[in-house]
Amino acid sequence: SAVISQKPSRDICQRGTSLTIQCQVDSQVTMMFWYRQQPGQSLTLIATANQGSEATYESGFVIDKFPISRPNLTFSTLTVSNMSPEDSSIYLCSAQRTDTQYFGPGTRLTVL
Amino acid sequence: DAKTTQPPSMDCAEGRAANLPCNHSTISGNEYVYWYRQIHSQGPQYIIHGLKNNETNEMASLIITEDRKSSTLILPHATLRDTAVYYCIVRLTGTASKLTFGTGTRLQVTL
């Protein structure tokens, strides 16, 4: 398995501001992913983050709104930019080891 | 990736086996069946996965039908801590394949 931590675990932010979420994996992995889970909904993939290349975004998600960094094989960040109340969600990162994805505990974001 | 169908909810008495079904009738030969669970908005927890053979680990057993069109996750002795949403996901092998989460089955384990 993989041990994944996220910071912050939760935050309350004001409309129009930005928040950067950090994801740390306990060992090197090639593929990392960022998901969003809106209240009462299932998980939706935002983007795939590969080290040394641009993140690949899913339909409906854009780099200007959700910039991602992947500076090395154990770390990634997701920024939620110019936030609105509709961005209130749980944001989860995951990492793939062999054929399995493992998830972090999530960051619960509330935008007022 | 093939679509999966799961019942929206199930109940199970504590100590009994919980059998969670999943239909994936359009699964292709190079797609695995994965099971995850999510306890009260925590990060999803990997349970088990398989291709065509039945699989067992310390958490659960996975039974895949011979035609691979359906599978069953078995929790042999359910406890209250197993109350969660269980997701059955069909996924291509290989490092570039993503997980597509459906709505899952909400399992309620009761005394």
* A100 or A91, greater pLDDT: A91
The tens place of each residue's pLDDT in chain B, 111 residues long, gives 668 999 999 999 999 999 999 999 999 888 999 999 999 889 999 999 999 989 999 999 999 999 999 999 999 999 999 999 999 999 987 656 788 999 999 999 999
The C-alpha of A82 sits at a distance from chain B's nearest C-alpha, in angstroms, of 25
The C-alpha of A83 sits at a distance from chain B's nearest C-alpha, in angstroms, of 21
Other residues' Cβ atoms within 10 Å of the Cβ of residue B99:
21
Residues of B in contact with A106 (CB under 8 A): 41-43
How are strands ordered across the β-sheet holding B55-56?
A: B18-23, B70-75, B61-64, B55-56
Is the model's pLDDT at A22 over the cut of 60? yes
Check A105 against B103: CB less than 8 A apart.
no
- pLDDT by residue (tens digit) across A53-67? 889 999 999 999 999
Residue A81 confidence (pLDDT): 98
